[in-house]
Chains A and B, each alone.
Chain A
Amino acid sequence: MKATLKVWRGLDAAAGHFETYDVPFEPGQSVLDGLRWIRANHDPSLAIRFSCINANACKECMMELDGETVYACTARLESREMVLEPLHNKKLVRDLVTEIAPPAERFKAT
């Protein structure tokens, strides 16, 4: 099966663009699986953040799928076009990565 992931890319929230990737998958696989496949097979510069991969423990892979906030590790790939964007209510870092840490847990020079 094949999913088409339309992924927002950019370093500036006002000047981004979409790139579209066809991703092979087996039923049950997650959107994060698809994004990791893109990185290993097409473009390692695509920025995503995750650490637990699968367990819904780290809460890092929050993004927007078709305008809804999801965890990419628990959203399933489907054989259709799926639009992935960074969270609009958080400061953009790059591509699908936004500043999601509480302010007191962000680095700042002391």
Chain B
Amino acid sequence: MREPKAEPMQVETDVLIIGSGGAGMYAAIAAARAGAQVFLADRSLIGRGGATVMAQMTVAVALGAETPDHWSHHLADTIQAGRGLTDERLARLLCEEGPDCIREMDTWGVGWARRDGHITQAFAPGHDRPRCAYVDFLNTGPAVSKTLRTVVNKTIGIHKAGDLLVVDLVRRDGEVTGAVALHLASGAAVTIAAKATIVAAGGLTRLYRRNSASANMGGDGYALALRAGAPLIDMEFVQFFPIGHLAPRLIGMDPIMWDPFRYKLGGRLLNANREEFTERYGTREDGKYVITRDLATYAIIKEVEAGRGSPHGGAFLSFEHCPAAALRAAFGPVIDRLAANDIDLTKMPVEVAPIAHYHMGGVTADARMETEVPGLLVAGEAVGGANGANRLSGNAITEAFVFGRRAGRSAAERAHGRRHGFASTDARGALDLLAADGGRELNTAAMIQALQATMADDVGPFRTEAKLTRALTTIDELTGALRDRPAGDGKPFDMRRIEWLDLRNMLLVARVVARAALMRAESRGAHQREDFPGVLSEWQLNQVARLRGDDVAFASVPIVAEVAAQ
């Protein structure tokens, strides 16, 4: 140990929000409007990291603007997609309050694409009617983020703090009373006393080599909640997006950008022989885009395994049948960005392959977004259960809005009239961790790559007992190598220390995912076991993980069903 550091910097707030993506910003606005003082913390820039800003696609919501619709139809589709595991309370909340949030975003000037005076709603796979709003061109996530940033900036009572990495939640008598954070730009420790804390730190796609979200999404929120005593649910269900961009190298664009163009133009998926192949796996496309994500992922991976993959190990996606004018009309300025990458869609296909995209699992919460642990709430992708075993296209931004707003209101209610329960003695463990003088020999960047390779190869969309067991061995080895004191020098922007803290979370969450996947001896939705094909009725249950000492304990619980439409 080095000489004791100066006392940590101290912050007090009514509501602490961890993560400033769509869910965190919506929560901040809702909590502040309800009268709470809000401290909005992000490990990165405010409103630019996370997943929302990367979402170039659509937002599913039963507005009935395009054709008559009702939230109960959206709920039925969400439950159907969830393959029997959906928490219907949460799914209902998502579908029922979605329209209100979309209209609220509209009044804030997000700029939903319009046709004939109404918000345009597009078809997306798994929906029974056109239901998905968007912002042209490929601009849904950036427009949503910018709009929310603007409203956050105008709202009185929101204190913003970027470059603040929350290390652990702090508890007293079983309640969350705040958090300890590392201020990245200075290397200083910070304590935050909060009457209510919302984890809105997103999912875990960074655990995988190829993924569609930002490098911030390493499961931080799940690990924070787990260590604070909250259970995680459905952690075996990682959604892979089937047609993530693979080749040629494309920079300046989100790898999931091809999806809306498949909606609009019916891009064709082809194997190495330039043949359509999804019908081999039970789904004819006939030039339309109807295949669900899990089936498309399966078809592409099986075609590659059969030796008919594209040169980089995926499938070809071709728009060569589309006239140049139709491409220009659908892609707009994106055509020029593609040209800058030497891609001309009239003359060549691109290569695509499944890419880690979203996590269905997460922290268990009730319809107020409160967890089992008093003082701890969750919002957005950090919440588990609303999407069952497979998320419907377009539901992620909707849940960010709805769950964020609900969490913000609930947190403000909890904070109202409450006294702080934070005591610095309860923060000692996390502060000691940050004060540690760690080793300089670990290559934390290489360790993260090793974990990502293991997760992609052995805990990907198609799993076996042998692969999962091998992954758990690698996770054990990496955990052993990490040891218990952080690497790095503790000076400003110490990447080794940041990555050490990230690995602490990533390895814990990876272990939960792999163990849950090993136990579920069936194939359902996004969890496919090649050694246990087929859905088993006895597995229509949720697996719940809790931390017991240093180990993770699992239990099975019946699904939460509720009478849907009224």
Contact = CB atoms under 8 A, between A and B. Distances in A.
Contacts of B190: 107, 109
Interface in B144-167: 153, 159-164
Interface string A30-68: 100000100111001111111111111111100000000
Contacts of A53: 214-215
Contacts of B12: 110
Looking at chain A's contact residues, the main secondary structure is loop
A84 interface: no
Nearest to A49: B493
Contact of A94 (B342, B449, B491, B499): B491
A36 B254 contact: no
A104 B39 contact: no
A23 interface: no
Interface in A10-28: 11, 26-28
A74 B337 CA distance: 11
B53 A54 contact: no
Given A99-B185, A105-B46, A57 B9 contact: no
Contacts of A109: 9-11, 190
A52 B45 contact: no
B447 to A, nearest CB: 9
A100 B495 contact: no
Given A100-B45, A104-B160, A106-B162, A47 B495 contact: yes
B22 interface: no
B54 interface: yes
Q: Among the interface residues A11, A47, A104, A109, which one has the most CB atoms of the partner chain B within 10 A? A: A109
Nearest to A38: B445
Contact of A55 (B185, B248, B253, B446): B253
Interface in A54-99: 54-60, 73-74, 76, 93-95, 97, 99
Interface residues of A, number: 44
A29 B215 CA distance: 18
B445 A26 contact: no
B163 A94 contact: no
Nearest to B442: A44
A101 interface: yes
B495 A107 contact: no
Given A76-B251, A97-B493, A107-B162, A55 B54 contact: yes
Contacts of A97: 493
Contacts of B44: 49, 51, 58, 60
B396 to A, nearest CB: 16
A28 B341 contact: yes
Nearest to A54: B251
B249 interface: yes
Contacts of B163: 101, 106-107
Interface string B43-73: 0111011100110000000000000000000
Contacts of B254: 52, 54-55, 57
A73 B254 CA distance: 12
B255 interface: yes
Contacts of B523: none
In the A-B complex, the 3 residue pairs with the closest CB atoms: A28-B249, A107-B161, A51-B214
17 contacts: A11-B492, A27-B249, A28-B341, A45-B489, A47-B494, A51-B216, A54-B252, A58-B53, A60-B45, A60-B48, A94-B491, A101-B46, A105-B160, A105-B161, A106-B163, A110-B13, A110-B39
Interface of B: 9-13, 39, 41, 44-46, 48-50, 53-54, 141-142, 153, 159-164, 183, 185, 190, 214-216, 248-255, 341-342, 440, 442-446, 449, 488-489, 491-496, 499
Given A56-B252, A101-B46, 10 more contacts: A28-B342, A39-B445, A52-B49, A54-B250, A57-B53, A58-B44, A76-B251, A99-B185, A110-B11, A110-B39
